[in-house]
Copies of this chain bind each other. A is one copy, B any other.
Amino acid sequence: MRELRPCLKLWVEAEGRIVMSDYRVRLLEYIDETGSLARAAANMNLSYRRAWGKVKELEENLGFPLVQSEVGGPGGGQTTLTPAGEAFVRAYARFQQRMHDQLQVAFDEEMEAMRAVEPASPGAS
């Protein structure tokens, strides 16, 4: 039997609207790491405008701000996660990690179980 790879896509909705996903959390994690929406956008191959739109859409759907911007200062402007944004990003990342860990375990176990009870199943022939 060919080697099988289980795949997973996760997201979160509120009132049918997307408030987080594997893709979007990466953008927010880059903002957290770089302190810059421009650099986070570049890491995702997104335009600044498009990255900003994605963040604003999530905030609107969630009902609270995820990022905060400071204009000027010695290092120029900065965009960082709000405390609530940081907490939500971290919680989603942990949720994501657990699901990815579980993905391989559950798949392997059920495929094993299949082979155990089905001597005529694929791979045995």
Distance in Å: Cβ of A96 to nearest Cβ of chain B: 9
| Residue ranges of A at the interface with B (Cβ–Cβ < 8 Å) | 1-15, 19, 61-64, 83-84, 87-88, 90-92, 94-95, 98-99, 102-103, 106-107, 110-111, 113-114, 117-118, 120-122, 125
- Chain B nearest Cβ from A81, distance in angstroms: 12
CB distance from A82 to the nearest CB of B (A): 9
Q: Which B-chain residue is minimally distant from A124 (CB atoms)?
A: B84
Given contacts A5-B14, A8-B8, 5 further A-B contacts (CB under 8 A): A7-B12, A88-B122, A94-B113, A99-B102, A99-B106
Measured in the bound complex, the distance between the Cα atoms of B11 and A92 in whole Å is 21
Q: List 18 A-B contacts (CB under 8 A).
A: A1-B63, A2-B15, A2-B19, A4-B14, A5-B13, A6-B11, A6-B12, A7-B11, A8-B99, A62-B122, A64-B125, A83-B120, A91-B113, A91-B114, A95-B110, A98-B110, A99-B103, A102-B106
